[in-house]
Amino acid sequence: MMERRSSKILDNEFLQIKPQFSNKSIRAFFSLRSFSANGEAGRSDLAKLVGFKSQNLITPIQIHSTNVNFLLTAGLVQSCDGVFTNKKELTCSIQVADCMPIYFAHLSENVFGLVHAGWRGLVDGILEKSATLLSKNGYTLSDFEIVIGPSIQKCCFVVRDDIIGRFRNKFTFRTNQNGVYKVDLQKYAFSKMADIGFEESNIELINDCTFCLQEKFHSFRRDGNESGRMIGLIGSS
């Protein structure tokens, strides 16, 4: 059964994602609009603020791809939209502004990761590639808890009939405008992960809409090139 849950606001700059993972050593965070996220420096500042070591950040250079990597060292990762590690000292990071930040945490081992999933990555198979990567590294998919963080919701994610065929019909909705549709990306991602082999009861959705909540979140679809970015972090204490 799909579960929706709110994150916990620790101060006016960031949220704690799923305040209590089953694996109590894993912690995850998501910055708010009020936090100044300026490229790599922004990720470093957030890491320090929440108690991670900035020099241990894994930082993917995101390109809306399906590329995912399992990393054993910190640093920049070129052309990548998902990063995982089993090194306790490392911290995975991504940045988003409407796309889904998807947090992965093993139930008992120090294995965790973050995926940046926009609609292109979602329909092209980034979640399937993430599952394959974890399986190839010897992990069982049902042993992971997953949280889909704040992202654009079906109330605001609008597409036209030129690309609507790329989505499953059950997650698309007609509007009162001809050739215009809305898509529930979070439910689509949930369905995909359940089909792949992740345990449904371990998947949670935070259904805050980044487009609607202007005072709280950045949104590229709302603000265009003037939009800032939110930062996602996950690591182990």
**Predicted confidence (pLDDT) per residue in 147-186, tens digit:** 999 999 999 999 998 888 898 888 998 887 888 899 999 9
Confidence band of 10 (pLDDT split at 50, 70, 90) = low
Question: Among 13-27, 83-97, 138-152, which stretch is predicted with the lowest mean pLDDT?
Answer: 13-27
Sheet of 3-4, strand order: 3-4, 203-205, 144-148, 100-106, 112-117, 82-85, 68-71
Q: Give the mean model confidence (pLDDT) for residues 22-39.
A: 91
Distance of CA 196 to the CA centre of its chain: 17
Round to whole Å and give the CA distance between 125 and 67: 9
Tokens at 198, concatenated: 């992740």
What's residue 167's pLDDT? 87
Q: Give the mean model confidence (pLDDT) for residues 41-62.
A: 95
Q: Are 83 and 103 a contacting pair, CB within 8 Å?
A: no
Confidence band of 1 (pLDDT split at 50, 70, 90) = very low
Residue 230 has pLDDT above 80, yes or no: yes
What's residue 7's pLDDT? 62
Tokens at 169, concatenated: 């019909």
Percentage with pLDDT > 70 across the chain = 95
Output the average pLDDT for the chain.
93
Round to whole Å and give the CA distance between 186 and 117: 10
Residues 97-137: tens digit of each pLDDT: 999 999 999 999 999 999 999 999 999 999 999 999 999 99
Q: Which residue has the higher pLDDT, 237 or 112?
A: 112
